[in-house]
Structure 1
């Protein structure tokens, strides 16, 4: 697992702060202070790529809809195949009526 590569005091502090956010507005404010617009957009794009992969969209469709490169799409796909299953877990919480991702 790659989790151990990022684990540490600073990361714990950051993640604990995220868990303390009370609502969407507070989340926007926190991330606006913490990240550049580009960083936030990049994270949001990856999450949307994950959602579209979960919906079985093609790379070409995902590229058109999100503007993500094929390298980004491939990276997110690898997370589905070899990661911690958290994209699928979080998308399942946001969209409980959708089917979970299943690798081919």
Structure 2
């Protein structure tokens, strides 16, 4: 977990994400809070999780997404031994 200054409340971010109702609202919010590079990283990680959840290998994930071995390893660890966030999202969007 990222260490944050004590006056910063991550719950505000969670509530903000939960308040978004359309893909357009989500896109606008993410455009505002993430740099283009950060956005690309998040998109890439989700795609890596999708490939791995379908039984793909490191090689197929790297080929399909351009992700580094380190990124793929981190996503794999989170996907199979993490808090379950990737699985929840992939199941809900029909890509698990």
**TM-score interval, normalised by the smaller of the two chains:** 0.7 to 0.9
Which has the higher relative contact order, 1 or 2, with Cα contacts under 8 A spaced 6 or more apart? 1
Q: What is the CA–CA distance in structure 2 between the aligned matches of 1:18 and 1:85, rounded to whole Å?
A: 17
Structure 2, unpaired ranges of 5+ = none
Shift of 1:39: 0.4
1:66 aligns with 2:74: no
- Residue-pair matches, total: 94
Matches within 5 A, 1:29-48: 29-48=28-47
Other structure's SS at 1:40 match: helix
Other structure's SS at 1:22 match: coil
Alignment partner, residue 50 of structure 2? 51
> TM-score normalized by structure 1?
0.81
Other structure's SS at 2:9 match: helix
Q: Segments of 4+ in structure 1 off by > 3 A?
A: none
Matches within 5 A, 1:1-104: 2=1, 9-95=8-94, 98=96
Other structure's SS at 2:37 match: helix
> TM-score normalized by structure 2?
0.87
